[in-house]
Amino acid sequence: MATTEGESMPEGSAGMPAEAPKGKPWGKIAAVVIVLIVIIAAIVAWRLLTPTSKYHADVFTEATFGEPDSLDPAYDYETAGGKVIQNVAETLVWYQREHADVFMPMLAVKVPDLANPADVSPNGMIYNFTLKSGVKFSSGNAVNCRAVEFSIERVLVINFADGPAWILDQSLTGGIKDNASTPNNERLDAINASVTCPGGATGLTVKFHLVIPYPAFISTMAFTVGSIIDPAPSSYHTSGRCASTDLYNNTCHDQLVATGPFKLRVWSANQEIILDRNDNYHGAATKPVPFREIHIVKVNDIATRVLMLKAGDADAIDLSPDHKGDIRATNGSFLPGLIEYSGPTFIVQFLGFNQNINMTGVSPSDFNGTADFFKDIHMRKAFSYAWKYDDFINNVLFGYGTPLCGPIPQGMFGYDATTPCYSFDLTKAEQEFRLANNTGTVNPLDNFWQTGFTITLTYNVGNLPREEGARQLAATLTALNPRFVVKVQGLEWAAFLDNIRFEKPPFFFLGWAPDYADPDDYVVPFLHTGNTFPNRVGYSNTTLDGLIENQSKDLNPTSRRATLKTIQAAPYYDVPYIWRNQAKSQNVFRTWVLGYYDNPMTFSGTGNYYYDLSKSATG
The predicted model gives 228-253 an average pLDDT of: 97
d(CA 348, CA 356): 23
Q: Do 90-249 and 345-584 show the same overall fold?
A: no
Q: For residue range 481-526, list pLDDT tens digits in order.
A: 999 999 999 998 788 888 998 999 999 999 888 889 999 999 999 9
The secondary structure element, H or E, covering residue 126 is: strand 126-130
The pLDDT value recorded for residue 78 is 85
Confidence class for position 41, pLDDT limits 50, 70, 90: low
CB-based contact 398:358 (threshold 8 Å): no
Whether 517 contacts 219, CB under 8 Å? yes
Binned at pLDDT 50, 70 and 90, residue 8 comes out as: low
Domain ranges of the chain: 26-65+261-343+586-619, 90-249, 345-584
CA 539/CA 573 separation, integer angstroms: 13
- Where does 90-249 sit in CATH, by number? 3.90.76.10
Q: Give the domain 345-584 fold.
A: Dipeptide-binding Protein; domain 3 (3.10.105)
pLDDT at 18: 30
Q: 254 near 242, Cβ under 8 Å?
A: yes
Q: Which residue did the predictor score with more confidence, 554 or 24?
A: 554
pLDDT of 429 over the 60 cut: yes
- Kindly list the distances between the CA atom of residue 216 and the CA atoms of 124, 148, 548, in Å, as whole numbers in the listed order: 11, 19, 13
Distance CA 139, CA 141 (A): 6
User: What is the value of pTM for the model shown?
Assistant: 0.81
Provide the pLDDT for residue 322: 85
Q: Are 62 and 315 in contact (CB under 8 A)?
A: yes
- For the cut 60, the answer to whether the pLDDT of residue 384 exceeds it is yes
Ranges assigned E (strand) in 461-518: 484-491, 507-513
pLDDT at 42: 54
The more confidently predicted of residues 3 and 399 is 399
From residue 283, give the alpha-carbon distance in Å to each of 90, 109, 280, 294, 611. 11, 12, 9, 18, 10
Q: How far apart are the first and last CA of the chain?
A: 35
Q: Is the pLDDT of residue 39 over 70?
A: no
Residues 147 and 131: their CA atoms lie apart, in Å, by: 11
**C-alpha dihedral sign at 24, 29, 33, 35:** positive
pLDDT at 480: 98
Q: Which CATH architecture has domain 26-65+261-343+586-619?
A: 3-Layer(aba) Sandwich (3.40)
| Rounded percentage of the chain residues whose pLDDT exceeds 90 | 80
Whether the CB-CB separation of 350 and 580 falls below 8 Å is answered with: yes
Dihedral (CA of 226, 231, 237, 242) sign: positive
Residue 430 has a pLDDT of 98
pLDDT of residue 463: 84
Average pLDDT of the segment spanning 404-429: 96
Per-residue pLDDT of 56-67, as tens digits, reads 999 999 999 878
209 φ, ψ (degrees, to nearest 5):
-110, 105
In sequence order, the β-bridge partners of residue 4 are 511
Instruction: List all residues 6 or more positions away from 335 whose beta carbon is below 8 Å from its beta carbon.
Output: 310, 327, 328, 329
Q: Judge whether residue 19 has pLDDT over 60.
A: no
Of all residues in the chain, the percent with pLDDT exceeding 70 is 91
Beta carbons within 8 Å of 330's beta carbon, 6+ residues apart: none
pLDDT band at 222 (very low <50, low <70, confident <90, very high): very high
Instruction: Give the 3-state secondary structure of residue 464.
Output: helix
**pLDDT tens for each residue of 467-476:** 999 999 999 9
pLDDT at 53: 52
Confidence at residue 35, expressed as pLDDT on a 0 to 100 scale: 46
Neighbours of 215 (CB within 10 A): 21
Helices 25-49 and 302-311 pack at an angle, to 10 degrees, of 50
Q: What DSSP letter does each residue of 590-604 carry, written as one string?
A: ETTEE-----TTIII
Planar angle of CA 147, 153, 154, nearest 5 degrees: 90
